[in-house]
Amino acid sequence: MMRPDDRARLEAESLRRQIDALGQWFHNINLQGVWTAPDHFLGDYPAVKWRGFSDALPSDLTGKSVLDIGCNGGFYAIEMKRRGAARVLGLDSDARYLEQARLAARVTGQDIEFAQGSVYDVGALGERFDIVLFMGVLYHLRHPLLALDLIRETVANDLLVFQSMQRGSADVAPLKSDYDFFEAAPFDEPGFPKLHFIEGRYSDDPTNWWVPNRACTEAMLRASGFAIVGHPEAEVYLCRCAEKPEPGSVYPAQAPREVRA
Ligand SMILES: C[S@@+](CC[C@H](N)C(=O)[O-])C[C@H]1O[C@@H](n2cnc3c(N)ncnc32)[C@H](O)[C@@H]1O
């Protein structure tokens, strides 16, 4: 007869092996006392980030549908389900992260769907969600505004929870709606919207492409048809779907005029 202490130790060792078999984790999640990324370079991530904005989201998500784009190891998807969301779909382009998320959901007892796919293909989901999480993905994209446009046009129904790494000034310069062609000085203001392009690597990561400053983050959200309704943490924005400013985007693609019926 095995003693309870020995059984618990064997279960923890088995879980440790399953966690380690899925490679390095970005999300540090407590799976029955076993942590998935205890040596994360950002500390207890993303719990430290979540603590900064969790109170800004409804504590009761009963009946709500949630899409977590770039769900990674499933930390936020699990938190949404813990708040009672009726349906949570975690989407990520990386199969290994999805395996991690599936393990985390299973061990924490949360019924969450996961699917492999890119933010550029969210239209193929064919449905809108009450809450869309788009956290920590924008700067990994070669086409960040396209992604925001597609989210607004195809899957966002109400609330967008957005986060991006930001670099550069945290100032937000007042913007005019138009500038004369020879008026170049505003571009040199630190608080003018700026999207910094990374040709090589940043933080040893070749998938970091565009890093906005604060003014640019906010301007891109507005330009994609999101109204910023909350800014609970420096990098986190709560947005509601709003009218998209003109001239707007030219996609989803339309058939060229001559081949239209
Ligand atoms: C920095 S992690 C952020 C994870 C999580 N959302 C968070 O905030 O902690 C970026 C995630 O976005 C995913 N990702 C990158 N490009 C993507 C794309 N085009 N479509 C969907 N997910 C993508 C990565 O695989 C990774 O899991």
Q: Whose CA is closest to 46, among 61, 62, 68, 18?
A: 68
State if residue 26 touches ligand 1 by the CB under 6 angstroms criterion. yes
* pLDDT surpasses 90 at 229: yes
Instruction: Express each pLDDT in 103-160 by its tens digit.
Output: 999 999 999 999 999 999 999 999 999 999 999 999 999 999 999 999 999 999 999 9
Task: Please tell me the predicted confidence (pLDDT) of residue 255.
Answer: 57
Instruction: Express each pLDDT in 150-186 by its tens digit.
Output: 999 999 999 999 999 999 999 999 999 999 999 999 9
The answer to whether residues 147 and 220 touch, using CB atoms and an 8 Å cutoff, is no
Centre of ligand 1 to C-alpha 92, Å, is 6
Task: Report the share of the chain in percent with pLDDT over 70.
Answer: 95
The answer to whether residues 87 and 62 touch, using CB atoms and an 8 Å cutoff, is no
- Cα–Cα distance between 18 and 84 in angstroms, integer? 27
Tell me the average pLDDT across 230-252: 87
Q: Residue 13 — φ and ψ, nearest 5°? A: -65, -40
Look up residue 33 and give its two tokens. 């006392």
Q: Which amino acid is at 257?
A: R
Task: Please tell me the predicted confidence (pLDDT) of residue 40.
Answer: 96
Task: Please tell me the predicted confidence (pLDDT) of residue 3.
Answer: 83
- Cα–Cα distance between 198 and 171 in angstroms, integer? 21
Instruction: Express each pLDDT in 181-221 by its tens digit.
Output: 999 999 999 999 999 999 999 999 999 999 999 999 999 99
Model-wide pTM > 0.85 = yes
Domain-wise residue ranges, the chain:
58-247
Strand, coil or helix: 207: coil
Centre of ligand 1 to C-alpha 77, Å, is 13
State if residue 135 touches ligand 1 by the CB under 6 angstroms criterion. yes
Centre of ligand 1 to C-alpha 84, Å, is 23
Query: Token match 């499933």: residue?
Result: 74
DSSP string, 26-54: SS--EETTEES-TT-TTSSTTHHHHHTTG
Tell me the average pLDDT across 229-235: 98
* pLDDT surpasses 70 at 30: yes
Residue 89: exposure state from Cβ atoms within 10 A (0-12, 13-18, ≥19): buried
Distance of CA 114 to the CA centre of its chain: 15
Nearest CA, atom 19, ligand 1: 118
pLDDT tier at 246 (50, 70, 90 boundaries)?
Answer: confident
State if residue 89 touches ligand 1 by the CB under 6 angstroms criterion. no
State if residue 72 touches ligand 1 by the CB under 6 angstroms criterion. yes
- Domain over 58-247 is classified CATH 3.40.50.150: yes
The answer to whether residues 209 and 253 touch, using CB atoms and an 8 Å cutoff, is no
Nearest CA, atom 6, ligand 1: 135
Centre of ligand 1 to C-alpha 70, Å, is 3
Query: What is the 3-state secondary structure of 68-134?
Result: EECCCCCHHHHHHHHCCECEEEEEECCHHHHHHHHHHHHHHCCCCEEEECCHHHHHHHCCCEEEEEE
Element housing 227 (H / E): strand 226-233
